[in-house]
Amino acid sequence: MIGRRHHVVIDCPDPAALATFCSDLLGLPVTYRSDDFVVIADDDTTSGFAFQRAPDHQPPCWLDPSRPQQFHLDVMVEDLDTAGTQVLAIGARLLPDGNHVYADPAGHPFCLIRRPGWAPPINTAGA
């Protein structure tokens, strides 16, 4: 091993807004905040997701190879329909021709997937 993962850093036009969306989506609190950089993680001593301001950010365009998806998250859920309703309520939008594929507020695609049998149940209490 050469190193260890720190944060996955995601470019976006509004770091605070995208961090809030992802915090709601993944149940991770905001652990660091500045004008141009926001982090969500289990706590302030663990790796997580960081959102950095990119004023000229061009979001991907679903199914358009001229602006590919760049990256995407697979988010495991207990119930696809319930989770779909919940992500729409916090600002996601359903992408055309996507089977449980959504875009976050900055346009990055993410997929909702049913929790595989090998993964422990997802505690949605308090969600």
Mean pLDDT per 10-residue run, the chain (127 residues)? 80 96 97 96 92 91 84 88 95 89 92 88 69
C-alpha torsion sign, points 7, 8, 13, 16: negative
Cα–Cα dist 19/36, whole Å: 11
Note the pLDDT of residue 119.
85
The answer to whether 93 and 84 have CB atoms below 8 angstroms apart is: no
Taking the model in full, what pTM does it have? 0.79
Cα–Cα dist 77/60, whole Å: 24
Enumerate domains of the chain plus CATH numbers. Answer: 8-55+65-114 (3.10.180.10)
Residues 6+ apart with CB under 8 A from 50: 7, 8, 9, 10, 32, 37, 38, 39
